[in-house]
Structure 1
């Protein structure tokens, strides 16, 4: 195995992607310091050799780069500037990589007094993160990007510098917009098929093997076929959040995006129905026929 020479890296947030990134770094022989709000997720990484920090400030101590991979803007603000936050002991001297999907404006606000900060949109799932197969879309100053390039190339098979800070989040939001609409379209077609008496499994097999199916549709069709939405690849509530962020971005520039708006509403409704911590393909459960409907 080719190993990368790099100083210690902090990983703040150990959800599916954060944990995958930490494993990748450890596999490459890079010292890793981890922190997570719920400590139970740190145990496997501790066994693999990571240092488990008491708080974000402890995690970033002595590191050359810090990756924030938390759920939303509120969590990101808390991790960076809340009690024990990564930035509470003065300016961070390394490169801060925001891998949390938040509004682009939030990243710019966070930048404030951080000398080197990048926003990093990640395309891929937990397996891609663990295996260094992500596609990474990065925004920020050229100097910060150049400093982080060796680390980024360790984490991703493709690394693209898009331009100004916030660009990475804009790319990530439009990619998640596409995924949210595609998965909902797949779910709608499947529910219509079932309601009209077609065999659900046959319909999903047909769609997955057709020219209409994107790779994500083919992948999510297996979720719909099994009706297993636990152990999510991407939580439904996070998709709802990202779709809402995308519609707000559109409104800010005067665009009307009817499909994105409809998908956001469906995902928010599904989250309110208690499906938020299931895989985003569970949006299908928000589309079930209403009781008493003739089919």
Structure 2
């Protein structure tokens, strides 16, 4: 199998993480071919030296690896298996890296009989992606992992092979479950503080500097303190999706996860209130019922 640093790399899907990955590769002198469903996100990367393709299949043509970073399983299936997809014309000769967060069983189903697939759970934000500071948790056959490892090590400061295909998604869902619960807990604490007459800013500063705060909570406390949830680090609707996936995974193996279930319900409600494209810390806005509402 071709090693993934021997040729151009395709990046399919240019959200916050996909754009960061493509930028990182360009900064490292790698030839990059990009595709995105909407064209406006392509233009800055083209100016930086990337080649823009009209279809996923065209972006992947002649590359040694293709990184798919799209919103959900339906989008991933279309990018790989659709009429314009990477696999529409037959097997892909390089390594297919599924960095989209989808159900573990779904990535296995989409891969089908294609063995050159890795699923990669990415821990970090857009800045980590751009700077090669991600932590990457990988599922897939060992020979495919070994072929893709040079590329993965260019993108992340830590690369861990967890086992069979789907393992990367299982780890990612666990990590996002923790983040969703932590951020909601922080939001709940800040709302209770305000309702109790405490100074919101002081409370958030105290929590962020305490032993109770994880790095995520310390980071998100700044969002809550400012009340600004635009230009999201991680969209609330994606967190809602991932919490629901984690809850379904738990139900499938007979586990009851009350915290995960409650967080999923809150995030789904927040997305239904029109907060889906704001940062996930905007879940705080779903905690207080509006006059005349039944939420």
**Deviant stretches of 4+, over 4 Å:** none
Residue 54 of structure 1 deviates from its aligned partner by 0.7
Deviation at 1:44, TM superposition (A): 0.5
Secondary structure at 1:218 match in 2? helix
Q: How does 1:252-291 map to 2 (within 5 A)?
A: 252-291=252-291
Residue 5 of structure 1 deviates from its aligned partner by: 5.2
Q: CA deviation at 1:290?
A: 4.3
1:66 and 1:234 mapped to 2: Cα distance? 23
2:20 aligned with 1:20: yes
Task: Verify the 8 A CA contact 2:5 2:64 in the aligned structure 1.
Answer: no
Q: Is the 8 A contact 1:9 1:66 kept in 2?
A: yes
| CA deviation after TM superposition for structure 1 residue 55, in Å | 0.5
Deviation at 1:196, TM superposition (A): 1.4
Gaps of 5+ in 1: none
Residue aligned with 2:138, SS? strand
Q: Hey, what does 1:63 align to over in structure 2?
A: 63
- Give distance in 2, aligned partners of 1:6 and 1:247: 40
1:118 paired residue number: 118
CA distance in 1, matches of 2:292, 2:144: 59
After superposition, the Cα gap between the structure-2 partners of 1:277 and 1:139, relative to the gap in structure 1 and judged at 3 Å, is same
Counterpart residue number, 2:77: 77
Aligned to 1:162, the other structure's residue is in SS state: strand
Measure the CA separation in 2 of the matches of 1:290 and 1:148.
50
After superposition, the CA RMSD in angstroms is 1.3
Cα distance between partner residues in 2 of 1:292 and 1:140: 51
**Per-residue deviation, 1:289:** 4.6
The structure-2 alpha-carbon separation of the partners of 1:35 and 1:292, relative to structure 1 and needing over 3 Å to count, comes to closer
1:107 aligns with 107
Q: What TM-score do the two structures reach when normalised by structure 2? A: 0.96
Give the SS at the match of 1:239: helix
